Each structure stands twice: as structure tokens, then as C-alpha cells.
Amino acid sequence: DAGVIQSPRHEVTEMGQEVTLRCKPISGHDYLFWYRQTMMRGLELLIYFNNNVPIDDSGMPEDRFSAKMPNASFSTLKIQPSEPRDSAVYFCASSHVTGTGNYGYTFGSGTRLTVV
């Protein structure tokens, strides 16, 4: 199993540009999460999906952020237009609820976004 795959690993873009982050969850996992991590705010949940359906997007900071999950094996997080304060590491994670209720998340390696 290749784990959760995120791309790109690093992204440097100019303010105002559109940025698209991509995630391939672990096959069979029915939950997908997008997190943002900064030194100041730690790990923040932006949005999560269950069976490809967005369940809670209350963490999405502004209308500039949008996320989609067109199928069980792919999700995108888009920022348009990007701003310097969006600079952070963005993590995708997936999980599956086991019969015991254990569902630790498996995180990808993250996308380090820098908006200049």
C-alpha cells in the first residue's frame, strides 16, 4: 500500500494565482480529511468527506477555498485567489471505521504552500 499520496510536495505561487492541491486516499478508506498546519494555529481541519460526500466544511476559512471529491480515489483542494496568509503545510488524511470504532488517520506527506 502506497499510503496517502499528495501532490505537489512543494508549491510556490504568486499572490492572486489559483492553487490546486491533490490527494489520493488509501483504497478502501471511506473518510477523507483536509488539514492545514501552521506554527501559530497547529493542525486545523478544513473539510472532510464521507463516501465522497462533504460532511463538514466549517473549517474552510473563506470562499476562496473549495474542495471536491469526484470519486473514492481522488480529492482536490483549490485556493482561488491565493494570498500570502494561505502559506502553510496542507495535509490530506484518510481513514476507515473498523468494527471497534478505531479509526486512526493515515496522513499524506503534505504539500508545503508558499504564496509570495
Partner 1 sequence: QKEVEQDPGPLSVPEGAIVSLNCTYSNSAFQYFMWYRQYSRKGPELLMYTYSSGNKEDGRFTAQVDKSSKYISLFIRDSQPSDSATYLCAMRGSWKTSYDKVIFGPGTSLSVIP
Return residues touching partner 1 (CB under 8 A): 4, 31, 42-43, 45, 48, 50, 55-56, 91, 93, 97, 100-110, 112
Nearer to partner 1, 31 or 74 (CB): 31
Is the CA virtual torsion 46, 52, 55, 57 positive or negative? positive
Residue pair 64/11 in contact by the 8 Å Cβ criterion:
no
Q: How far apart, in whole angstroms, are the C-alpha atoms of residue 113 and residue 26?
A: 23
- How far, in Å, are 22, 37, 60 from residue 95 at the CA level? 17, 19, 20
Residue with Cβ nearer partner 1 (15 or 43) = 43
Is the separation of the CB atoms in 31 and 49 below 8 Å? yes
Which among 96, 1, 2 is positioned nearest to 50, based on CA atoms? 96
Q: Which CB atom, from 110 or from 115, has the smaller least distance to partner 1?
A: 110
CB of 38 to partner 1, least distance (A): 10
Provide, rounded to whole angstroms, the least separation between the CB of residue 65 and partner 1. Answer: 17
Choice between 30 and 81, CB closer to partner 1:
30
| Shortest spacing between CB 81 and partner 1, in angstroms | 27
CB of 25 to partner 1, least distance (A): 13
